[in-house]
Structure 1
Amino acid sequence: MVTSLDDAAIQFNDQVLVPAILQDYHTRQVLMMAWMNAESIQITLDTGKATFYSRSRQALWTKGETSGHFQHVVTFYYDCDADTLLLEVIPDGPACHTGHTSCFYREIAENAELDKGNSSILKTLNDQIEDRKAHPVEGSYTNYLFNEGLDKICKKVGEESTETVIAAKNGDPDELISETSDLIYHLSVLLNYQGVSFDDVFEKLTARHTHKRRDEYGAAGKIKNK
């Protein structure tokens, strides 16, 4: 178990630096890459905020110190060769100075046969529902549900749950996929209406899966060395 930076045996390059990759703890999206030295690593461990070393300015810098978009570190890993770091973070805002969520927003290529979506759609769906609540759109079904209120939303969740069960009983995979998608959407609306997020659900699922919720932070926001 790593109890100090020395115990981690990080392999720094000739400039006494090591590349660090930031990944969103919730969505798993890769956010950015920057350089760290021993001092910035220790500051990150002490404060819980991702801190780096700027090669151009030859100075330490904490991500968010000017923009307010701090990157709060949940887990801190190093790879099998000990020459690359991975920080899972909860961001206060966009990681990229351009305003994009991630610095990796310019696509080189896409395999359309494989790029058919992943679990990140849950956050996208939740963000869209939240946006509909904040900025109603005429003719929006989501706004219709919000306007009708809790009883209507609950009724739709019940209906979609029943239709999902029926699809399963019919043994029709395509129908089951379609009805499950409808159910997840209406459940997302219900969670949002009640002020509950998928992150809350993920936390509960994780606690049940591990039987004991792992502490992510120590006292005063400091990261606990593993």
Structure 2
Amino acid sequence: MNVDFSKNTDGLIPAIIQDSETKNVLMLGYMNAEALQQTLDTQKVTFFSRSKQRLWTKGEESGHFLHLKGIKNDCDNDTLLVQVHPQGPTCHTGADTCWQENNEPSYGFLSDLEETIKIRRENADSEQSYVASLFAKGINKIAQKVGEEAVEVVIEAKDANDDLFLSESADLLFHYLILLQAKGFQLNDVVDVLKKRQK
């Protein structure tokens, strides 16, 4: 790895710490050449502490180590992306991240959609909200709807109309997310099962 520590007079470069699974940014620290080498040797993230003026392994006092999973150098060779498995919270305040956010998996738009479904289930009038009306009808109706959408996906998969296939696929995914919540689960619970099956 060709890292240029000479761009700053103090020989330090930023190290962005990212959870290797959730992809959330946990903290920002600084490394010199010695800190980088110790990180590689021990597989525990080590920084150069500007306040203590010494090498500092994250977790040396708290036990909340950052176990190294990978390091990437940026295009200018002066910033590191350090991917880790955190052992406990990262921030000294006890929070998961130094931005006081929970280090939970996010699937972008799909996570936002899950949250919308949850809000409509809890707060919407079943006469005005399609989602709320499905929940009001119960698990059997929701499961039936998923089955209907699945059949429609299969039918459209055998035809040549890609727009219809994608539209029905979106309907299936939407109703499946509703079914998951009706059963008390989220998309991440399914992802966890898939991870356990990964070889």
TM interval, shorter chain, is 0.5 to 0.7
Asked if 1:19 is matched to 2:14, the reply is yes
One-letter amino acid of the structure 2 residue matched with residue 66 of structure 1? E
One-letter amino acid of the structure 1 residue matched with residue 3 of structure 2? I
Tell me which of 25, 33, 36 is aligned to 1:30. 25
Q: Contact 2:177–2:187 at 8 Å: present in 1 too?
A: no
Give the deviation of 1:37 after TM superposition.
1.2
CA distance in structure 1 between the aligned counterparts of 2:142 and 2:194, rounded to whole angstroms: 17
SS at match of 1:67: coil
Tell me which of 172, 175, 185 is aligned to 1:176. 172
Closer, same or farther: CA 190–34 of 1 in aligned 2, 3 Å: closer
Q: Contact 2:27–2:98 at 8 Å: present in 1 too?
A: yes
Closer, same or farther: CA 74–167 of 1 in aligned 2, 3 Å: same
Instruction: Give the superposed CA RMSD.
Output: 3.9
Instruction: Give 1:133's aligned residue.
Output: none
One-letter amino acid of the structure 2 residue matched with residue 43 of structure 1? Q
Asked if 1:100 is matched to 2:100, the reply is no
Instruction: Give 1:150's aligned residue.
Output: none
Instruction: Give 1:41's aligned residue.
Output: 36
Q: Contact 1:72–1:89 at 8 Å: present in 2 too?
A: yes
Structure 1 unaligned residues grouped into runs of 5+ = 1-7, 107-116, 126-152, 208-226
One-letter amino acid of the structure 2 residue matched with residue 81 of structure 1? D
Instruction: Give 1:82's aligned residue.
Output: 77
SS at match of 2:17: strand
Give the deviation of 1:68 after TM superposition.
1.9
Task: Output one character per residue of 1:5-37: Cα deviation in whole Å (capped at 9) or x when no partner.
Answer: xxx221112111111000111111111100111
CA distance in structure 1 between the aligned counterparts of 2:89 and 2:194, rounded to whole angstroms: 24
SS at match of 2:98: coil
Asked if 1:91 is matched to 2:86, the reply is yes
One-letter amino acid of the structure 2 residue matched with residue 181 of structure 1? L
Instruction: Give 1:60's aligned residue.
Output: 55
Q: Contact 1:31–1:101 at 8 Å: present in 2 too?
A: yes
Give the deviation of 1:59 after TM superposition.
1.0
SS at match of 1:22: strand
Give the deviation of 1:181 after TM superposition.
1.1
Task: Output one character per residue of 1:110-157: Cα deviation in whole Å (capped at 9) or x when no partner.
Answer: xxxxxxx717849x99xxxxxxxxxxxxxxxxxxxxxxxxxxx9x999
TM-score w.r.t. the length of structure 1 is 0.56
Q: Contact 1:157–1:187 at 8 Å: present in 2 too?
A: no
Tell me the matched-pair count: 158
Within a 5 Å distance, the mapping from 1:149-164 to structure 2 comes to: 162-164=147-149
Q: Contact 2:27–2:91 at 8 Å: present in 1 too?
A: yes
Q: Contact 2:44–2:65 at 8 Å: present in 1 too?
A: yes
Q: Contact 1:191–1:197 at 8 Å: present in 2 too?
A: yes
Give the deviation of 1:175 after TM superposition.
3.6
TM-score w.r.t. the length of structure 2 is 0.62
Give the deviation of 1:71 after TM superposition.
1.0
Larger radius of gyration: 2
Closer, same or farther: CA 14–188 of 1 in aligned 2, 3 Å: farther
Q: Contact 2:177–2:186 at 8 Å: present in 1 too?
A: no
Instruction: Give 2:108's aligned residue.
Output: 118
Structure 2 unaligned residues grouped into runs of 5+ = 102-106, 116-138, 157-163
CA distance in structure 1 between the aligned counterparts of 2:183 and 2:82, rounded to whole angstroms: 31
Tell me which of 145, 150, 159 is aligned to 1:165. 150
Q: Contact 2:15–2:79 at 8 Å: present in 1 too?
A: yes
Instruction: Give 1:10's aligned residue.
Output: 3
